[in-house]
Amino acid sequence: MSSLSADQRKALDTQAVNNFREYLQIPSVQPDINYDDCVTFLKKQAKSLGLPIKVIEITSGKPIVIITWEGSEPDSPTILLNSHMDVVPVFEDKWTYKPFSAHIDKKGNIYARGSQDMKCVGIQYLEAVRRLKLQGVTLRRTLHISFVPDEEIGGVEGMRKFVHTNEFRDLNVAFALDEGMANPTEEFALFYAERCIWHMHIHCPGNPGHGSLLLDNTAGEKVNYILNKFFEFRRREKQKLAENPTLTVGDVTTVNLTQMKGGIQTNVIPPEFVIVVDCRIPITVDIKKWEETINRWCSDAGQGVRIEYEQKQPQVPATKLDNTNPFWIAFKEASDELGLKLKPQVFPGGTDSRYVRSIGLPALGFSPMNKTPIRLHDHDEYLSKTMFLRGIDIYCKIIENVANVEERSG
């Protein structure tokens, strides 16, 4: 393997930043995205790398892009490097710079929606491969670099469907990397599991009537009872976090009231209120018992209360971080060699990793961003040029290690 000269590295750094900024300038913002510009951009990247590209559409208008670097043992199970093309909406008047300008300030910070979540990672994969190829590196296992749609709205038409297709099975994936998040400390966040998401619409019917009366069995009384139960539970979960510094938010159950619906006029007691609760459940919780608790609260609140689930995910087994997982061992060895301090934890939200794990494959969530404020989904999302470029070097080592894990099956 040859090393890169200083001039080569400088040229590659410039190319990487330019590619990152060009990708950020594509406003692939939810909702109603036209992904054509993303696909065109990625086709150009594949051509510059001399690698084949495939575009799959399980759902019309929702392309899944796969760039493949074949390994020396093409029959061995492969490595998947996943990222998503879409980004969340912006409130442009709250931004210091235009959110799709990819402006670089005097400190070298690159401002754009998607700079942390997660166009940075997609480009870092590609630029790491570019450097490895230039150095004459040959990997044992084939790499598939995937760019999927609609992760920010649950991945329903993206990774969730994709993992159950023949096209995915044909990739012969053994291990996947996907997004993590920034960390303001020295440590790098590493995610080996995710909480399951329940989105509940709790219908509270009651006696309607005039607002001057004290009717029994009103919708508002039932809402009050249920919310008191949820908020008392929420207080106890917050207390767990406050009392145990080793815990992260991914280790507790979060419940948040996100919507309230009902009522037609100030002086009319309505026939129903609906409250919407976002609940995220960690892997340590018995979800059957948790569901029984919620159902009991609803029953105790009064007659007719029912739950309609917008989303009710099952618990997905965590990826093992032990000697039974050779890809974790390879990842950890690369991290140790680079001097990275990893903080393994449960992801607090939801990523496409959950769909990969749901079919029994190990997956880790990792975005190489330490000493970086968490700005995903926030105004003025940014990533420093220095951290972006360092992330490429980190991926070079990690990719080489995990893709050279020896095949042991059979």
336 is in an annotated binding site: no
Q: Are residues 82 and 104 in contact, defined by beta-carbon separation less than 8 angstroms?
A: no
- For residue 377, say whether it is annotated as part of any ligand binding site: yes
Contact assessment for residue 42 and residue 147, using Cβ atoms and an 8 Å cutoff: yes
- Which residues are paired to 60 by β-bridges? none
36 is an active site residue: no
Please indicate if the annotation marks 117 as binding a ligand: yes
The residue annotated as part of the active site, out of 13, 36, 70, 86, is 86
Query: Choosing from 151, 178, 251, 381, which is the catalytic residue?
Result: 151
Is 272 annotated to bind a ligand? Reply is no
Burial class (CB in 10 A: 0-12, 13-18, 19+), 278: middle
Max CA distance (Å), the chain: 84
Cα-based angle 282, 191, 177 (whole degrees, multiple of 5): 130
Q: In Å, how far are 56, 62, 155, 171, 401 from 166, measured between CA atoms?
A: 11, 17, 18, 9, 28
The CA distance from 184 to 375, in Å, is: 10
Residue 271 buriedness (CB in 10 A; 0-12 / 13-18 / 19+) = middle
Nearest to 291 by CA among 279, 301, 302: 279
Mark whether 186 is an active-site residue: no
Beta-carbon contacts of 65 under 8 Å, excluding residues fewer than 6 positions away, are: 38, 39, 42, 53, 54, 55, 56, 85, 146, 147, 148
Q: Tell me: is residue 152 an annotated ligand-binding position.
A: yes
Residue numbers in the known binding site are 84, 117, 152, 179, 377
Catalytic residues: 86, 151
Residue numbers in the known binding site for Zn(2+) are 84, 117, 152, 179, 377
